Amino acid sequence: GENVEQHPSTLSVQEGDSAVIKCTYSDSASNYFPWYKQELGKRPQLIIDIRSNVGEKKDQRIAVTLNKTAKHFSLHITETQPEDSAVYFCAHSGTYKYIFGTGTRLKVLA
Amino acid sequence: EAGVVQSPRYKIIEKKQPVAFWCNPISGHNTLYWYRQNLGQGPELLIRYENEEAVDDSQLPKDRFSAERLKGVDSTLKIQPAELGDSAVYLCASGEYSGSSTGELFFGEGSRLTVL
């Protein structure tokens, strides 16, 4: 009941196009949904997050949407750039758990 | 302000040997996590501390893994004896828990373990 499914596992887009990554969770107690970016050999770093009392949040080219009824949330990156190439992880957290998805390797082709 | 500090960054050992990893979280953070990350996969939670109490260690293989967080600050993760399958990056992270949820986690650089 704690795992999170993340799709797709790999995603290639042309520079300037949009990228969408989706995650589905099952723990109804989760109330915090962050997204982390991990570049090769580096530590994961938060890029955007959303709490369960909000449906959508946007920060420049990045947006996250949450459907708590359906238990899924998505990361949207618009106008992708080569420096967006990395592995992206969704996560969900409740009282005690902080569980990560399996990751999406995004490649932005110049 | 210093971030989460981990050591060692790299460790190569032979199987059946012991190994220990150390983590110094961000000052003031009451939660500390140890994750294991295999190549190409997401971080897998091993143990979560709130102050000095381990509130979730359900995923920690207790036959060979142990962890402690004395005085609610630094933490160590030990593996004894190590097996080939333990090769991975061990990530430490810290954050602030408000009583109902946790916010951003700040990760250390990780300790890359290779078991030969």
Question: CB B107 to CB A6 under 8 A?
Answer: no
Burial class (CB in 10 A: 0-12, 13-18, 19+), A64: buried
Per the structure block, which two tokens stand in for B96? 């602030």
C-alpha to C-alpha distance for A60 and A78, rounded to whole angstroms:
9
Average confidence score pLDDT of chain A: 93
Residues of B with CB under 8 A from a CB of A: 33, 35, 40-45, 48, 55-56, 91, 100-105, 107-110
Q: Of the candidates B91, B102, B109, which has its C-beta nearest A93's C-beta?
A: B102
Q: Residue A48 — very low, low, confident or very high, per pLDDT cuts 50/70/90?
A: very high
C-alpha to C-alpha distance for B26 and A104, rounded to whole angstroms:
28
**Which residues does chain B have within 8 Å of residue A40's beta carbon, measured at their own beta carbons?**
none
pLDDT at A1 over 60: no
Tally C-beta pairs within 8 A across A and B: 55
Backbone angles phi, psi at B71, to 5 degrees: 60, 15
Residue appearing with tokens 């998505």: A74
pLDDT of residue A3: 78
Per the structure block, which two tokens stand in for B45? 């939670």
Range in B9-23, B27-41, B87-101 the model is least confident about: B87-101
pLDDT at B1 over 70: no
